[in-house]
Amino acid sequence: MLFLLPALVLLGALVVYPIGYSLIRSFYNANGDGFAGVDNYKAIFTDDGIRTALKNNVIWVVFAPTVATALGLVFAVLTERVRWGTAFKLVVFMPMAISMLAAGIIFRLVYDQDPDKGVANAVWVGVHDTFARSSAFPNAHPGRESPLTADQGGFITRTTVHTGETVALPLVGVAPDQMPGGARKAVAARSENGRITGTTWQDFTRGKGVGRLGTPDPSELGYDGMRIEAVKNGQVVASTKAAADGTFTLPAAADGARLRLPASNFKQPYNGVDWLGPSLVTPAIIGSYVWMWAGFAMVLIAAGLAGVPRELLEAARVDGATEWQVFRKVTVPLLAPVLAVVTVTLMINVLKVFDLVYIIAPGSSQDDANVLALELYRKGFSEGQPGIASAIAVFLLLLVIPVMWFNVRRLRREERR
Amino acid sequence: MSWVLEKINGGLVRVFLIVVALFWLVPTIGLLASSLRSPDDMSASGWWHVFSKPSQLTFESYQKLLENSDITGSLWNTVLITVPATVLVVIIGALAGYAFAWMEFPGRDWWFLTVVSLLVVPVQVALIPIAELFGKIGLFGTIFGVILFHVGFGLPFAVFLLRNFFAEIPRELLEAARLDGAGELRLFTRVVMPLGGPAIASLGIFQFLWVWNDMLVALVFTKSGTQPITVALQTQVRQFGNNVDVLAPGAFISMVIPLAVFFAFQRQFVTGVMAGAVK
């Protein structure tokens, strides 16, 4: 009995006693001097902050374990087919060894909003700009004595234009590093019979009073790719894009129209996704959790996979089953017990998730990313609400009791064998 | 035909796995690269620019960090917490595991099942009660208090793992030693502990990483002066943005020991993880 004593004393004082204490404490008010009945439990379901936490916990418990397990399964099955499978497993499993704090800092860097700093947005913006070129002229606007005036987010000529004329559409304000790479020296357009020609360019030469207003100077650049619309009675009758030197040509249909540089030319460049903003913060943090724990699922499932008799898979293949059918009809059913254990383990783990949310969610969206474990910490240690915190603790404990029971039952069955 | 398909499939699998591996590596590489650039470079451009301009690499941030006594002190605290918490769990857990496996006493199975049922109790349940308890007996804010807490919550798994391992030891071995007149203590130190090597290694590594990486328990039970590295860095995260030169190298330093342990003892770690799939 002496062998057992230290363990039992420590377990009793540090694990069992707190359970009883929390249970009792959860029925008392904040100061602990008045009986509060079930008020603290009611708060879990009525307090807005706690309800957000509860809702997020449901999202966590549903998605994080299933995604991690599914990825683990796919990785475990696929790594069997490459020679460097062990190295791959090591890479995916490695995050298990580091602290959630370190993982949190790692992902704080990954999710940085600025596409020049956060790798997630750098990749995202890269992909986005490949498929949808963002406009090239943010902040462009008419200068002094301009023939242009603001219109629907873009700019329009004050007067109508006619065939044979040349039109000048000067703007200022585009930062030199934001000019399109292909832009060349602006050139004054030559007039053409039966057409409208013109130039749109950056009418600004560095240095005060240098260059003439309203005329392309040798140092000024054309607005390469600027879209120009001819508008008659509110209808677009013709449109074109400026060449690299800023010149453009419109057909006779534009005769008598006003020329507009539509708003699409002046949108701010695409700045990526606000990963840690209120709406995406929880999925983003779940992503970092999956990064940490998919390796755990993979290793356990791979161990299960090693126990699957190869002859069974071979037999199915000989019978003409495709790889997908073998996976779906043979491998997965045989692995079902392992998958269940992994998923349940991760579910318990997810209920307790604290560090990742605490570290990754910036102050401004921490309320939106809230989870029960974090709310418990806040209520208990910064808001002076140990009663409610204890109720949350008991609630968490109730959620793991089915697993407790399952463990005990499994053990007793094993003992009997 | 099917041979060609096989080839394509094999190629696709390889490409897919390489992409996944990149997904898993890039975040950590980002941290490492960030920690090796100067604060000015960090605020000017993304860490990936370091690959086109290797001249940016500098140990400046690490140097500054290691001259910061808050950080070095907290790193030392981490060691002071982790080592005893690991050793104590192994010793106390092994004693209890041996008792549950090989000693006869009334209600043995019932006691063991009770310990197993404690495996899944979330640490959060104990934070408030133990904080108040430690406050009353003067353990709050001490390193010893944190150690004690980690031992308490490490024990269910330790007892579970070691009992199951010890139970596999052949009965004849123990009987032979008993016949030779060895007492229980002698049996424990001379027969059971040496045979239990692999399980003890798994448990030790598991517990070591668990305690080293802990932030929540330390956040609650330490105060300035007894804080481990995780808590010290956590206070920095509150002002995230202009202090990447502290956070990135700090996080990396805190990862070095766990990663070294992980790479050195992969097999034992995996065994521990598998056994602990219920924790």
- Look at residue A139 and tell me if it is in a domain: no
Both A250 and A177 in one domain: the answer is yes
Instruction: Sheet containing A235-241: give its strands across.
Output: A148-151, A154-157, A258-261, A227-232, A235-241
Q: B190: which 2 tokens?
A: 């001379």
Both A259 and A191 in one domain: the answer is yes
Residue-averaged pLDDT of chain A: 83
Between B108-117 and B69-102, two packed helices, what is the crossing angle to 10 degrees? Answer: 150
Q: What is the pLDDT of residue B5?
A: 60
Domain-terminating residue out of A266, A294, A329: A266
DSSP structure class, residue B118: G
Least-confidence region, from A18-32, A115-129, B20-34: A115-129
**Closest chain A residue to the Cα of B149, Cα to Cα:** A14
Both A203 and A282 in one domain: the answer is no
- Percent of chain A scored above 70 by pLDDT? 94
Round the CA-based radius of gyration of chain B to a whole number and report it. Answer: 24
- Look at residue A16 and tell me if it is in a domain: no
E strands present in A255-354: 258-261
Most confident of the following: A169-178, A209-218, B160-169: B160-169
To the nearest whole Å, the CA of B62 is away from the closest chain A CA by 16
Both A182 and A294 in one domain: the answer is no
Both A250 and A295 in one domain: the answer is no
To the nearest whole Å, the CA of A361 is away from the closest chain B CA by 10
* Res. B148: pLDDT tops 80: yes
Q: What is the pLDDT of residue B8?
A: 65
Mean pLDDT, range A280-287, rounded to an integer: 90
To the nearest whole Å, the CA of B74 is away from the closest chain A CA by 15
How far, in Å, are A8, A9, A177, A201, A242 from residue A182 at the CA level?
77, 77, 12, 13, 12
Mean pLDDT, range B235-249, rounded to an integer: 77
Most confident of the following: A77-81, B79-83, B183-187, B198-202: B79-83
Whole-angstrom distance, CA of residue B150 vs CA of residue B211: 7
Least-confidence region, from A104-113, A154-163, B50-59: B50-59
pLDDT band for position B14 (cuts 50, 70, 90) = confident
Identify the CATH number of the domain in which residue A351 sits: 1.10.3720.10
Domain-terminating residue out of A266, A284, A304: A266
Beta-bridged to residue A341, according to DSSP, are none
A11 touches B at CB < 8 Å = yes
Most confident of the following: A392-396, B69-73, B107-111: A392-396
pLDDT digit string, tens, across residues A335-367: 888 888 889 888 888 988 898 999 888 878 888
B110 touches A at CB < 8 Å = no
Q: Which residues of A346-364 are buried (b: 16+ CB within 10 A; e: fewer)?
A: bbbbbbbbbbbbbbbbbee
| Top-confidence residue, B4 or A253 | A253
Amino acid (1-letter code) at residue A395 = F
* Res. B201: pLDDT tops 80: yes
Whole-angstrom distance, CA of residue A184 vs CA of residue A230: 24
User: Could you tell me whether strands A227-232 and A235-241 are parallel, antiparallel, or unpaired per DSSP bridges?
Assistant: antiparallel
Number of H helices, E strands in chain A: 15, 8
Q: A334: which 2 tokens?
A: 């045989």
* Res. A383: pLDDT tops 60: yes
- Percent of chain B scored above 90 by pLDDT? 13
CB contacts of A6 in chain B (<8 Å) are 92, 95-96
* Res. B2: pLDDT tops 60: no
- Look at residue A9 and tell me if it is in a domain: no
What is the model's pTM?
Answer: 0.81
Asked if A373 and B240 come within 8 Å (Cβ–Cβ), the reply is no
Region of residue A386 (left: phi > 0; alpha: psi -120 to 50; beta: else): alpha
pLDDT digit string, tens, across residues A44-85: 888 888 888 889 999 999 999 999 999 999 998 888 888 888
Residue to test with chain B: of A15, A108, A408, most B Cβ within 10 A: A15
| Top-confidence residue, A375 or A134 | A375
- Look at residue A279 and tell me if it is in a domain: yes
* Res. B278: pLDDT tops 60: no
* Res. A124: pLDDT tops 50: yes
Q: What is the pLDDT of residue B54?
A: 75
Asked if A15 and B121 come within 8 Å (Cβ–Cβ), the reply is yes
Q: Which domain holds residue A312?
A: 21-123+275-410
Q: What is the pLDDT of residue A7?
A: 84
Return all residues near A216 (Cβ < 8 A) that are at least 6 apart.
Answer: A185, A186, A187, A188, A199, A201, A203, A222, A246
Both A84 and A43 in one domain: the answer is yes
Instruction: Give which of B153, B143, B175 is closest to B76, Cα–Cα.
Output: B143
* Res. A167: pLDDT tops 60: yes
Q: What is the pLDDT of residue A132?
A: 64
Domains: count for chain A: 2
286-345 of A, contacting B, C-beta below 8 A: 291, 296, 299-300, 303, 323, 341-342, 345
Out of B28, B152, B219, name the one closest to residue A10 (CB): B152
Both A115 and A167 in one domain: the answer is no
Whole-angstrom distance, CA of residue A378 vs CA of residue A384: 8
Q: A179: which 2 tokens?
A: 């000019």
pLDDT digit string, tens, across residues B26-69: 888 888 888 888 777 777 777 777 777 777 777 888 888 888 88
15-44 of A, contacting B, C-beta below 8 A: 15-19, 21-22, 25
CB contacts of A108 in chain B (<8 Å) are 237, 240, 247
Q: State ipTM.
A: 0.87
Q: What is the pLDDT of residue A136?
A: 67
Q: B224: which 2 tokens?
A: 């300035």
Domain-terminating residue out of A247, A266, A285: A266
Return all residues near B154 (Cβ < 8 A) that are at least 6 apart.
Answer: B85, B89, B93, B207, B210, B211
Both A281 and A384 in one domain: the answer is yes
B32 touches A at CB < 8 Å = no
Q: What is the pLDDT of residue B192?
A: 79
Both A307 and A396 in one domain: the answer is yes
Residue to test with chain B: of A109, A119, A127, A339, most B Cβ within 10 A: A109
- Look at residue A416 and tell me if it is in a domain: no
Between B2-35 and A100-110, two packed helices, what is the crossing angle to 10 degrees? Answer: 100
Amino acid (1-letter code) at residue B234 = Q
Q: What is the pLDDT of residue B279?
A: 45
206-265 of B, contacting A, C-beta below 8 A: 209, 212-216, 219-220, 230, 233-234, 237-238, 240, 244, 247-248, 250-252, 254-255, 258-259, 261-262
Out of A11, A98, A100, name the one closest to residue B155 (CB): A11
Q: B118: which 2 tokens?
A: 């404690």
- Look at residue A12 and tell me if it is in a domain: no
Instruction: Give which of B2, B45, B51 is closest to B26, Cα–Cα.
Output: B51
Both A162 and A248 in one domain: the answer is yes
**Closest chain A residue to the Cα of B153, Cα to Cα:** A15
Return all residues near A291 (Cβ < 8 A) that are at least 6 apart.
Answer: A95, A103, A107, B23, B24, B27
- Look at residue A260 and tell me if it is in a domain: yes
* Res. A1: pLDDT tops 50: yes
Mean pLDDT, range B2-23, rounded to an integer: 78
Both A262 and A279 in one domain: the answer is no
pLDDT digit string, tens, across residues A291-328: 999 988 998 888 888 888 888 888 888 888 787 888 88
Both A358 and A395 in one domain: the answer is yes
- Look at residue A11 and tell me if it is in a domain: no
Mean pLDDT, range A116-124, rounded to an integer: 80
pLDDT digit string, tens, across residues A242-278: 888 888 888 888 888 888 888 777 776 677 777 887 7
